[in-house]
Structure 1
Amino acid sequence: MSEHMSDRLRFLRAFLANPRQVGAVLPTSRWAVRGMLDLADLSAAGLVVELGAGTGVQTGEILARLGPGARLVSLEIDPDLAKLLDARYDDPRLQVVCDSAENLDTHLDGQRADVLVSALPYTSFDAGLRRRVLDLLPRALAPDGALLVIQYSPIILGELRRRFGSVTRTITPWNVPPAFLFACREPRT
């Protein structure tokens, strides 16, 4: 079985086990990931944080764009998917963490991310969890940093605008379903 098909089955199993946590039936397409990552300069980043790493579709593309001295911290709450990521990418720049995004601060050693990439299914989270995670993102971002978010609904736009001074939105129709890509900068204080 091809790696692509195997990843789809793993992702589907994770979705069926916990649909609110995974939020999608299939991994994000490479076109959508590339479109999202094009919204920031990852080659200049010292620290990139990925929330909701899944099967590593974003992880591989982030690593391909990172400089040699950069660091990528990838959080994935599903233990099986976190193990897959750890086994798949033998890269000293990558640290895979099996934990909730709510605990992001404990994994950054006091650092703030130059780029934060989030594929978390915010619209399927209960309101309290969504608020807690979204509230910590501006604090985890470096002053000139960028938060990149991919969603399958534009509903999150208002919540992002409440937390960031600049939010741009694009749509990538080459994903199933079409994906909304957000780039957020200038955390509100």
Structure 2
Amino acid sequence: MNQHIADRLRFLRAFAANPRQVGAILPTSRQAVRDMLDLGDVAGADLVVELGAGTGVQTGEILARMRPDARLVALEIDLRLAELLEERFDDPRLQVVADSAENLAEHLDGEQADVLVCALPFTSLEPGLRRRILESLPKAIAPRGVALVIQYSPLIQSELRRLFPSVRRRISVMNVPPAFLFACRLEAGAGSDGGS
């Protein structure tokens, strides 16, 4: 069985075990991941954080774009998927953490990410957990950093606009279903395209 099919089966099993936690039946397409990462400067980042690493679709693309001296901290709450990430990526720049994204601050030791990549299923999370995670995002990125958020619905946009002065949105149609990509910055007007 090739890796692509095996990953789909692993993801489906994780979804079946905890659908609210995983939030999607299939991993995000590589094209949607590339479209999202194009909204940030991964190549210029010292620290990248990934929330909801899953089977590593985003992880592999992030590592391919990162500098040799940069670091990636990837959080994945599903222990089996976290173990898969450690096996799949033998890269000293990567630190896999099997924990909830709401505990991110505990794993950063006061550091802030230049790029934060978030693939959490916000619309299926319990409202209190969703709020706690969303409110932690602005604190987790550096003043000139960016939080890149991928969702399968635009519903989260108003919450992101409440937390970030600048939110840019793009739709990646090469994903099933189409993916909504958000680039959120703390600097007003930094890469903002208004209300799109």
Q: Shorter-chain TM-score: what band?
A: over 0.9
Partner of 2:73: 73
Report if the CA contact (8 A) 2:123-2:156 is conserved. Answer: yes
Alignment of 1:118 with 2:118, yes or no, is yes
| Cα distance change of structure 1 residues 107 and 187 upon mapping to structure 2, 3 Å threshold | farther
Query: What SS does the aligned partner of 1:73 have?
Result: strand
Unaligned runs of 5+ residues in structure 1 are none
Partner of 1:45: 45
Report if the CA contact (8 A) 1:163-1:187 is conserved. Answer: no
Partner of 1:107: 107
Distance in 1, Cα, partners of 2:148 & 2:109: 21
Look up the equivalent residue of 2:80 and give its one-letter code.
D
1:187 positional shift: 6.5
Partner of 1:160: 160
Kindly tell me the number of residue pairs found equivalent between the two proteins.
188
Partner of 2:151: 151
Query: What SS does the aligned partner of 2:165 have?
Result: strand
Alignment of 1:89-108 (within 5 A): 89-108=89-108
Distance in 1, Cα, partners of 2:32 & 2:50: 15
1:122 positional shift: 0.2
Distance in 2, Cα, partners of 1:142 & 1:17: 35
Partner of 1:25: 25
Distance in 2, Cα, partners of 1:139 & 1:184: 12
1:77 positional shift: 0.2
1:124 positional shift: 0.2
Query: What SS does the aligned partner of 2:186 have?
Result: strand
Partner of 1:2: 2
1:19 positional shift: 0.2
1:109 positional shift: 1.6
Partner of 2:83: 83
RMSD after superposition: 0.9
1:110 positional shift: 1.2
Partner of 1:177: 177
| Cα distance change of structure 1 residues 183 and 176 upon mapping to structure 2, 3 Å threshold | same
Distance in 2, Cα, partners of 1:108 & 1:187: 22
Alignment of 1:8-19 (within 5 A): 8-19=8-19
